[in-house]
Amino acid sequence: MYSSNLLGFILAMVSSAFIGSSFIIKKKGLRKAGVSGPRASSGGYGYLLEPLWWIGMITMIVGEISNFVAYIYAPAVLVTPLGALSIIVSAVLAHFLLKEKLQKMGALGCLLCIVGSTVIVLHAPEERSINSVEEIWELAIQPAFLLYTASVVAIALVLILYFSPRYGQTNILVYIGICSVIGSLTVMSIKAIGIAIKLTLEGTNQAKYFQTWIFAMVAITCIITQLNYLNMALDTFNTAVVSPIYYAGFTSFTILASAIMFKDYSGQSASSIASELCGFLTVLSGTAVLHSTREPDPPTLPDLYTPLSPKVSWYIQGNGEHWKQKDEDGSPPDFITILRQDHFK
């Protein structure tokens, strides 16, 4: 038992290191791809041709596989909190490799996210035993979970179609919100697929059930959506802020989806529920602190793929006095129009 937990602990630590590093490697790949083509934040997909981005993707996949295997050898209350270590890894690496300064208050917000998520997990109810894909399907078509799924899809569509084009470049919660709500459905689908693989290896073929393929299609769709908007978030905002906010949102919505689908909280004591509520509030507080201390990324130099916004400054000369309307950002004007007083006569 102890050797099994130790192996699970080691795998979870390895997973956190790989996942935390993948954020940095992928962002360096995104920056490199943005030099020669449209950036991911502008809807470009040039990063798919960038080897460094794929190294980051492979690093993340290795981390996720390690995390999946860790759940086989150790209980969730041991493995899940260790996932928060990826936040520390990415924040430290971003500070040194990407020169993204992590302020003291940002470090405090990161700590609050970790503590809050840990409290949530430690007081979460035990997971129920699932023996077939059909059993998960019955849970997935419950009215309560169908309502949750419909709500997630509606929220995601509103964020994608309305808020993303208007506020995605300025509000980090837009892109991360899409990843978080969609991620909860990803976990539910991945769990079903994992059970199907496990039962199939044990001799009970689950590929013959149509539910298995539906879960697979949902998982693929959600994963592609998550990766797309996570790339846009990494390409637009500070990595040290993206990582903890994404972790907090993803963890919160995943626990909520699991509670609705598997009725985890039936029979829970009031103290346990209160502790989990405090954990949620701590996570939200940490997210607010991190968001408020975010330093804006330095502006990128315009290139052939970046639309230019012309700025007009007016110089008016009259009676020997000059008046100038300065640009808000203090940058030199692109166009200068000089109007003399005699032009109005």
Full DSSP string of 276-298: HHHHHHHHHHHHHHHHHTPPPPP
Residue given tokens 């003291």 in the structure block:
104
Quote the pLDDT of residue 98.
81
Torsional class of 267: left (φ above 0), alpha (ψ -120 to 50), beta (otherwise): left
Contact present, 74 and 9 (Cβ < 8 Å): yes
Q: Average of pLDDT values for 260-278?
A: 79
pLDDT category of residue 149 using cuts at 50, 70 and 90? very high
Per-residue pLDDT at 156 exceeds 70: yes
Tokens of 215: 């879960």
DSSP H helical ranges for the chain: 2-36, 51-73, 76-82, 85-97, 104-122, 133-140, 143-158, 164-167, 172-201, 210-236, 239-262, 270-292
Residue whose C-alpha is closest to residue 123's, from 131, 115, 133, 113: 115
Which has more confidence, 156 or 127? 156
Predicted confidence (pLDDT) at residue 205 exceeds the cutoff of 60 = yes
pLDDT at position 105 is 82
Give the pLDDT band (50/70/90) at residue 161: very high
Reference 100, options 283, 214, 241; nearest CA is: 241
Q: Which residue has the higher pLDDT, 266 or 161?
A: 161
For the chain, what is the mean pLDDT?
Answer: 76
Whether 311 contacts 334, CB under 8 Å: yes
Question: What pLDDT, on the 0 to 100 scale, is given for residue 152?
Answer: 96
pLDDT band for position 40 (cuts 50, 70, 90): low
Within 10 Å of residue 292's Cβ, how many Cβ atoms?
Answer: 10
- Binned at pLDDT 50, 70 and 90, residue 189 comes out as confident
pLDDT at residue 253, as a whole number: 86
What is the pLDDT averaged over residues 272-277? 82
- The pLDDT tens digits for 89-136 are 777 788 788 877 777 887 887 788 788 777 876 776 665 667 888 888
* Residue-level pLDDT at 301: 46
pLDDT at 303: 45
- According to the per-residue pLDDT averaged within each range, which of 24-28, 120-124, 221-225 is highest? 221-225
The pLDDT of residue 315 is above 50: no
Look at residue 238 in the predicted model and tell me its pLDDT.
Answer: 81
Closest CA to 313 of 297, 301, 330: 330
- Of the pLDDT bands very low, low, confident and very high (cuts 50, 70, 90), residue 310 is very low
Average pLDDT of 315-334? 44
Alpha-carbon distance of 250 to 176, in angstroms, equals: 9
Place of tokens 């640009």: 327
Q: With cut-offs at 50, 70 and 90, classify the pLDDT of residue 259.
A: confident
Look at the pTM and tell me if it is higher than 0.85: no
Q: Is the pLDDT of residue 144 over 70?
A: yes
Average pLDDT over every residue of 304-321: 43
Confidence of residue 329 (pLDDT cuts 50, 70, 90): very low
Contact 74, 268 (CB under 8 A): no
**Parallel, antiparallel, or unpaired: how do β-strands 312-318 and 321-324 relate?**
antiparallel
Averaged over 144-148, what is the pLDDT?
A: 95
- Residue 332 or residue 238, greater confidence: 238
Rounded Cα distance between 181 and 211, Å, is 22
35 against 40, higher pLDDT:
35
Decide which of 202 and 160 is more confident.
160
Q: Is the pLDDT of residue 79 over 90?
A: no
- Cα 284 to Cα 104: distance, rounded to the nearest angstrom: 18
Separation CA 30–CA 300 (nearest Å)? 13
pLDDT: which is higher, 135 or 334: 135
Round to whole Å and give the CA distance between 70 and 13. Answer: 9
DSSP 217-241: HHHHHHHHHHHHHHHHHHHHS-HHH
